Structure 1
Amino acid sequence: MKSILAGIGYAAAILIFYMYRNEIVSWLQNGEAPLALIFLIAVGFILFPVIPFKIIIGMLGYFYGSLLGALISWLAASVGSVIIYLLVQIFFQKQGRAYLAKFNKLERLTQTIEHHPFWTIVFARMIPVLPQALVNVYSALLSIRLLTYAVASAVGKIPAMLVYAYIGEHLFSGVYKLLMAIGIYALFLLVTYLIYRRWVHNKRRKA
């Protein structure tokens, strides 16, 4: 019953946030709200992802500059992901873990992640095509300590926050800076992928 009520409440909050998303974005665009309120709004977009958060990062980069925009986004994403982690653990972990256990391949993946949680979460945060909401929820269903999850998430989010905020700041500054940012991020992803492959290879050899 507790999990059902929590699910209904969350769905209602998403609906309200979705209905007023244009007004909230318009307020962000005015750039007149206090930074503390901007931070809370950014956390709201993590909790209720009615707009891709990459867009929010870009907007904050455009209005506040790359560093401050990335910092606000990073803090909001870090806090928001911890809140989601705790909510899922409290209300849905038992049911979710039982559901995962029905799939043998998924259960083996789960055990692998639980043995190497920190770097798995770090790399998951760095992959732009991987839905970050999925990382939040899936991590909460596993036996991963909150501190490990929070620190790994915070570390893994840093590169993407900097790049998207930079892109937002220089979106209308010319093609060169935009392409340079994309190129740097692509290089970073390649290096991350190579490191991850090496890490997985070493783990398999030791197993």
Structure 2
Amino acid sequence: MEKLLTDIIQNEVSFAWLYQFFLMAFVSMIPFAPIPVLAAFIASNHAFFTGFTINMLGTTFGSFLLFLFSKSVLRSVSLNYVTKKKHLSKYLALIEKNGFLAVLLGRIIPVVPSAGINLLAGISNVRVGTFIGATVLGKLPIILGYSLAGHQIAAGNWGTVLMIALYVLILFLIGVKLKRKWSS
């Protein structure tokens, strides 16, 4: 099983790109999953645009599936839980007020796990089109960064990898600062 998974990720089997797409979709539904590592690894085994496309479409599709599952199955159960947690209820209120902006910022600043954004947006009143638009726009810079890093690692361009890591670190630090301000 381990060899098959390695062969799929390393693009060694027929239709590996399709398996990689579904792997990214699945992993994007798991909180705190190693999406950056997997996205970089997938991108390192393809031409840049191909790797980026697999990563972007896979993570967006997985986010959409979890959003729909949350909206249709988990909504009533989750609302009771979220309203008891102060920080979650604040984010839910923000999503209710401006769903597009809340989802977009949650995607651009990678502090809140993607799966959490999907679940909270699903139990809110965010429309499907709004969610998809904000998700695509918000995931674009971070998935681009992960894919570019993987591609540059494969090419041995460590200076570029360092700049990309710095970019992701700055986004993370901005997110931590905003999260602290928002939580207080």
Per the alignment, residue 83 of structure 2 pairs with 101
CA shift at 1:75, angstroms?
0.6
CA shift at 1:31, angstroms?
3.4
Per the alignment, residue 13 of structure 2 pairs with 32
Where does 1:1-207 land on structure 2 (aligned, <5 Å)? 23-34=4-15, 35-47=17-29, 51-103=33-85, 106-172=88-154, 173-185=156-168, 189=171
Q: Deviations over 1:85-130 (max 9, x none)?
A: 1112211100111222234664344223211110111111012232
Structure 1 residues not aligned, in runs of 5+: 1-19, 198-207
Change (3 A) 1:153 1:21: farther
CA shift at 1:55, angstroms?
1.5
Please report the TM-score for the alignment, with normalisation by the length of structure 2. Answer: 0.80
CA shift at 1:21, angstroms?
6.3
**Structure of larger gyration radius:** 1
CA distance in 2, matches of 1:123, 1:48: 20
Q: Is the 8 A contact 2:94 2:102 kept in 1?
A: no
Bigger shift: 173-182 or 55-64? 173-182
CA distance in 2, matches of 1:85, 1:21: 30
CA distance in 2, matches of 1:51, 1:132: 9
Q: How many residues of Structure 1 are paired with residues of Structure 2 in the alignment?
A: 176
CA shift at 1:51, angstroms?
4.8
Q: Deviations over 1:122-150 (max 9, x none)?
A: 11101223211111112112111111111
Structure 2 residues not aligned, in runs of 5+: 179-184
Change (3 A) 1:25 1:151: farther
CA distance in 2, matches of 1:37, 1:113: 33
Q: Deviations over 1:6-54 (max 9, x none)?
A: xxxxxxxxxxxxxx56642342214333133332232232245695121
Bigger shift: 133-142 or 74-83? 133-142
Please report the TM-score for the alignment, with normalisation by the length of structure 1. Answer: 0.72
